[in-house]
Amino acid sequence: MDKVTEKKYSENTKLSEVLKSPEASKIIAKYKLPCLGCAMAAYEAEVLTLGQVSKFYGIDINSLLKELNEIS
């Protein structure tokens, strides 16, 4: 019987949660989010979800979530 893998990240995951993981942060950086280095980034990361960030910056949420959830 296959073990069901629980997905850690979803469209509703706050960006701040993702950035706590070095591996996940590298994936986020790969998608070139322009906001990561700005002064408001810390505040926005606490408020915005992956789904919202993806819509704002035209990121394919399905690809992003696939990569994030492949992290062991």
Q: Where are the domains of the chain?
A: 15-69
Looking at the whole model, is its pTM more than 0.75? yes
Q: What is the pLDDT of residue 33?
A: 77
What is the identity of the amino acid at 65? L
Closest CA relative to residue 40, chosen from 22, 24, 57, 16: 16
Q: What is the 3-state secondary structure (H, E, C) of the chain?
A: CCCCCCCCCCCCCEHHHHCCCHHHHHHHHHCCCHHHHCCCHHHHHHHCEHHHHHHHHCCCHHHHHHHHHCCC
C-alpha 52/C-alpha 7 separation (Å) is: 18
pLDDT in tens, 5-62: 567 999 999 999 998 899 998 898 898 876 666 777 778 888 999 999 999 889 999 9
Q: What is the pLDDT of residue 7?
A: 77
